[in-house]
Structure 1
Amino acid sequence: MERLIKPAATYSEIYDNFRWNLPERCNIAHQICDRHAEDPDKIALIHHVGADVRTYTFREIQQRANQFANVLTGLGLNQGDRLMVLLPQHPITAISHVGGWKAGLITVPTSILFGVDGLEYRLNNAEIRAVVTDQANLPKVLEAKALAPSLEHVFVIDGSPEGGALPFHETLNKASDQFTTLMFSPDTPALINYTSGTTGWPKGTLHGHQVLFGHLPGAEVLFDLYPQPGDKMWSPADWAWMGGLGNTLLCGWNYGTPILVFPMAGFDPELTMRMMGEHSIRNAFLTPTMMKLLKPYASLIDAHNVRLRSIISGSEAVGRDLLTSMLEMFKATINEGFGQTEANLTLGNCSGLNHYRIGSLGTPLPGHKASIRDDDGNELPVGEVGNLCFKHPDPVMLLEYWRNPEATAGKFIGDWLISGDLASKDEDGFYWFHGRADDVITSSGYRIGPTEIEDAIIRHPAVSMAAAIGVPHPERTEIIRAYVTLLPGHEPSDALADEIRQSVRDRLAKHEYPREIRFVDSLPMTTTGKVLRRELRAQAKSE
């Protein structure tokens, strides 16, 4: 499959020569499925469950998606209606999205980790008309359905449906596998992806069919000049959020790359290594949290013949030490990138062309423009910390927050989208993350981002993970408190706290070390694996 970015000797040439060339009419389903289905033997997906391994061709995905599109339209769903997909990574998850897009529906990927309240909020906010789920999640769907008048149809992919739900497979078996995919202008709505809720209630981020094209140059760069012969992709990142759906499923299938799917209860490093080796995975998207958990299992790389070619990492700052250790472990290209629900894959590093800075967010990826600006929209000079912003229009950028014009307007300063992250730009044009704008700690007149502190804490050999917040202080406004989880074999103690505190003080400025350290068994996380510092702040405030 031909790349969008053209070969060049330097990254600057690639970036300067890139131009968007969006089709006049398009559909994500056509781009990632129908085109490849012309070859009846082309493998789309490998589903490994227990001892069973089932492969799906693009032709099979297309036929099943066609049946689902016929079912949806036969039930009276029309272009623009919303379809919630409440499933883990699974072949039916992909089929549901492709079928919905074929019929012009707006799909709403939703994490199975949400409880009834979270589902009820999304069902009503997006006025969902149909849901695809499984037996494990059916009870909470039915409970939420009682409070969601728009929801008419619930499909269940396994077991015996109850509460009026429809059996997915039996229903599709009665439908024709022929369907002409509807084609639209690139800005026609295709999906609503809800924000992870690090600040207030989640907002529905509405994206058009163009969002697929917006991801592609970033994927080509970050997956080390992807695609290449033999590439095969896997990520544990949930397809319910833009990182998992966009970085792997959409980008992978756009280029006809086979994708591995297997169930995993929580992140299992040993199973991860075995599966990556057994299926010859070459490309992976791994968050920093996942890489931290893989770190103690380096010996399994050779034991399972793991031979990754390229890794994307992101969602939180990776940190120099973690990135260095992962490079030593996997001997693969690791490119740290940046993206968010509203505008994914916008910054990144390109190791393949020697264009990178370890620990940085990178520079703007081809087709995207970035800037550091103050709260009034003025561009800040090199080295100053400010709002990380991206230039509109951009195909990867949200169309709007779903039915929330006030929030949409508040997301922009003129033509610049405010990411909500604080960053700085160095003299070479590389961007450096300093923390979420709402996570800033103000202490003794200093504005301190938590990421650098956390990165320093986890360098300690006893530490697994850390989160830093500011807690009120009568003299300093705030002091830094760190919540720390320990690796197996280490026990909390005052002596260990002093040791960690001193190690941070030695590495960072004197005003940046945590005066308080709390040892905890776990940290509150979003469904996307980000630490919820606001929950820690709320806890500290209540104390």
Structure 2
Amino acid sequence: MQSYEALYAGFAWNLPARFNIAEAVADAWARQEPDRICLIEDRGEQPARTMTYGALADISRRLAAAIAARGVVAGDRVAIVLPQSFATVIAHLAVYRLGAIAVPLAMRFGPEALHFRLVASGAKLAVLHREGLETFSGIRHALPTLESVIVVGAEQHQNGGPIDFDRLIRETPPRLEMAATGPDDPALIIFTSGTTGPPKGALHGHRVLLGHLPGIRFHHDDYPRAGDRIYTPSDWAWAGGLLNVLLPSLQLGVQVVFSAERFRAEEAYRLMARQKVRNAFLPATALRMLAAATDEDAARDLALRTIASAGESLPAATFAWARETLSLTVNEFYGQTECNMVLGSSVAAGVSRAGAIGKAVPGHQVALLDADGAKVPAGTPGTIAVKAPDPVMFLNYWQDPKATKAKFSGDWLLTGDQAVMDGEGYVAFLGRDDDIITSAGYRIGPGEVESCLVAHPAVKLAAVVGKPDPLRTEIVKAYVCLNNPALASVAIAAEIQAFVRARLSAHEYPREIAFVAEMPLTTSGKIMRRVFREQATAEAEAAAAR
């Protein structure tokens, strides 16, 4: 691998006039090597199941024909609410083939979170897993744009009932026509975490896949090499799982190993050993869990060549554990839903420093700006900003031109994250301009959680902040004013927690609730989260000192 300086100086984008994600990740390989294995499903209790590029291309063509027959055309939105599975990949490619727009959504979303995103995107069709039918059925009547539902594992195939995914594919001949899309044509909406107000849909073009290739090749040290095989526990509904691992690896011909089971450190060790995984994308929380569960035999059985991590800052102790126990240096990288994988590390390229994210990935211009949009000197804190145009950059926020405009300062996209860059170009993350919470790799916006909290009949006002946590980086902590302060108790706190968890998701509910008599407000009536954030931090520091 070339040095970082040579890689960065010699890089130039050369995007084709025509580009479609389905063609790049399936059809191109299917023509050359149809029997080449691309996906490996390992659930541990049975032999691993595999899928070839030839099968992936054929089945996704059949699903494309089936959803086209249900009225889906270019520009229509199709929600994909599935776990890691063959069906997830097939559904994505079917949507891209039609020039439609995929809207990946997490299985763990509760009814309110799911309803908001389905309505905001105006989804015309949804592909669901049968385990999500109960949640979905409660909101189906309130989805005016949704016309059809296809269910993986459904037991019916009739008018008005769930349409079975597998049966539909068997009964539908393939659609051979591919939409004549270009790099800037819309392909994908990924919702942000909702740092201020409701989550926003970041619309990406087909170019987003091309934009991620330099990053994945960089932080997996000259990826791919012979024998490389990748695994991540990250949800494919999240940019981290979909764009950091799944789609670029398929385009590069690397086998993707997955398991739909919930992440458990002991089983992750066994899975990676069974499948001879060479490359892994593991958020810091997953790495901490692996470190806590490690033993000499588990570490000895691994065949890992590279580990990449993102989504939250990697603690120095975890960085050191990977070096000492796995004999690997974790390559960190940074990005966000709107503009991902723009900073990173690569041991092979000579870019690695504990406590730093890394440097600008080849192909991306990154600077730190002050409040006036000017570059700050080395060693001075500033907002991480990315120069437009950039293939990895979103097209816009879905139907929100005002928010799109506010995301930019001139030609620079503002991430809202604060950092310091030294004289060598290494960037160290400091914190956030906004109130986003990073918990177990998930970026959680307080606005959506607060809205759910105040929907509880006992709650008058609520403020949500991140409290430092040694395992999850932060946990969600809620400060709540009750309509009747006399009701404050452990029981009502548990009831409120269950209320939020059932309506949003397991990673968003407040793990701690504190009852307060009143909320500190600004002169404009906004809750001063800063007061609670400082209080939560002090609590965490006091607990650590004990």
Give the TM bin, normalised by the shorter chain: 0.7 to 0.9
Percent of residue pairs bearing the same amino acid type? 36
Shift of 1:263: 2.2
**Residue from 314, 317, 320 that aligns with 2:316:** 320
Relative to structure 1, the CA distance from residue 172 to residue 535 in structure 2 (aligned partners, 3 Å threshold; closer, same or farther) is farther
Q: CA deviation at 1:143?
A: 2.0
Question: Cα deviation per residue 1:64-102 (whole Å; 9 max; x = unaligned)?
Answer: 100001011111111010010001101100000011101
SS in structure 2 opposite 1:52?
A: coil
Question: Partner residue of 1:393?
Answer: 389
Preserved contact between residue 316 and residue 530 of structure 1 (Cα < 8 Å): no
TM-score normalised to structure 2 length = 0.80
C-alpha displacement at 1:527, in angstroms?
Answer: 6.8
Deviations 1:356-408, CA, capped at 9 Å, x for gaps: 21121111101101111112211111111121100011000000000000100
Which of 40, 45, 50 is residue 46 of structure 1 equivalent to? 40
Per the alignment, residue 510 of structure 1 pairs with none
What residue number does 2:408 align with? 412
| Paired AA for residue 296 in structure 1 | A
Cα deviation, residue 295, structure 1: 0.6
In structure 2, the partner of 1:252 is 249
Question: TM-score under structure 1 normalisation?
Answer: 0.81
Structure 1 residue 238, shift from structure 2 partner: 0.4
CA positional deviation for 1:481:
9.8
1:5-154 mapped onto 2 (5 Å cutoff): 7-8=1-2, 10-38=3-31, 39-49=33-43, 50-154=45-149
Q: What is the distance in 2 between the residues matched to 1:129 and 1:235?
A: 30
C-alpha distance in structure 2 between counterparts of 1:539 and 1:227, whole Å = 47
Bigger shift: residues 131-140 or 407-416: 131-140
CA distance in 1, matches of 2:506, 2:5: 32
Alpha carbons 2:64, 2:175 under 8 Å: kept: no
Contact 2:64/2:174 (<8 A) preserved = no
Q: Is the 8 A contact 1:238 1:528 kept in 2?
A: no
Cα distance in 1, alignment partners of residues 39 and 179 from structure 2: 24
> Given residue 140 of structure 1, which amino acid in structure 2 is its aligned partner?
T
Displacement of 1:199 after TM fit?
A: 3.5
Q: Aligned pair count?
A: 468
From 191, 206, 210, the equivalent of 2:207 is 210
8 Å CA contact 1:311–1:332 kept in 2: the answer is yes
Give matches, 1:295-374, under 5 Å. 295-299=291-295, 302=298, 305-374=301-370
Query: Structure 1 pair 155/271, CA: closer, same or farther in 2 (3 Å)?
Result: same
Instruction: Give the match's secondary structure for 1:100.
Output: helix
Residue aligned with 1:358, SS: coil
| 1:236 alignment partner, one of 224, 233, 237 | 233
What is the rounded CA distance, in whole Å, between the counterparts of 2:40 and 2:329 in structure 1? 24
Where does structure 1 lack aligned partners over 5 or more consecutive residues?
A: 1-6, 441-449, 455-466, 470-479, 488-519
Change (3 A) 1:363 1:535: farther
**1:222/1:535 Cα in 2 relative to 1: closer, same or farther (>3 Å)?**
farther
Residues 428, 530 of structure 1: CA spacing in aligned structure 2 closer, same or farther, 3 A cutoff?
farther
Deviations 1:468-525 (A, max 9, x none): x9xxxxxxxxxx99554689xxxxxxxxxxxxxxxxxxxxxxxxxxxxxxxx9x9x99
Q: What code does the residue aligned with 1:273 have?
A: Y
Aligned to 1:264: 261
Query: Which amino acid is 1:257 matched to?
Result: V
Per the alignment, do residues 532 and 179 of structure 1 end up closer, same or farther by CA in structure 2, a change over 3 Å counting?
A: farther
The separation in 2 between residues aligned to 1:238 and 1:315, in whole angstroms, is 12
* Partner-residue secondary structure (3-state), 1:323: helix
**Runs (5+) with no aligned partner, structure 2:** 447-464, 473-493, 515-528, 537-546
Cα separation, 1, equivalents of 2:183 and 2:509:
34
For the residues of structure 2 that align with 1:197 and 1:535, how far apart are their CA atoms?
A: 21
Secondary structure, counterpart of 2:38 in structure 1? strand
Alignment partner, residue 223 of structure 1: 220
Q: Secondary structure at the match of 1:136?
A: helix
Distance 1:530 1:125, change over 3 A: closer
State the 1:196 CA deviation: 2.1
Contact 2:154 2:162 in 1 (8 A): no
Q: Deviations over 1:168-213 (max 9, x none)?
A: 1111111113422222111000000001234431100000000000
- RMSD over aligned CA atoms reads 3.0
| 1:220 shift after superposition | 0.5
1:154-193 correspondence runs (5 A): 154-161=149-156, 164-193=161-190
Q: Tell me which residue corresponds to 2:477.
A: none
From 252, 261, 270, give the equivalent of 1:274: 270
Q: Which amino acid aligns with 2:208?
A: V
Give the counterpart of 1:427 among 423, 429, 432: 423
Q: What is the DSSP-based 3-state SS (H/G/I as helix, E as strand, rest coil) of the residue aligned with 1:44?
A: strand
**Secondary structure at 1:324's aligned position in 2?**
helix
> Counterparts of 2:17 and 2:154 in 1: how far apart (Å)?
43
1:530-541 matched pairs, under 5 angstroms: 537=529, 540=532
2:523 aligned residue: none
Which amino acid counterpart does residue 49 of structure 2 have in structure 1?
A: R
Partner-residue secondary structure (3-state), 2:330:
strand
**Could you tell me how far apart the structure 2 residues matched to 1:308 and 1:191 are?**
31
How far did residue 528 of structure 1 move?
Answer: 11
Taking the aligned partners of 1:410 and 1:224, their CA distance within structure 2 comes to 35
Q: Is the 8 A contact 2:322 2:329 kept in 1?
A: no
Q: How far apart are the structure 2 equivalents of 1:384 and 1:286?
A: 30
Q: 1:140 to 1:531 in 2, by over 3 A?
A: closer
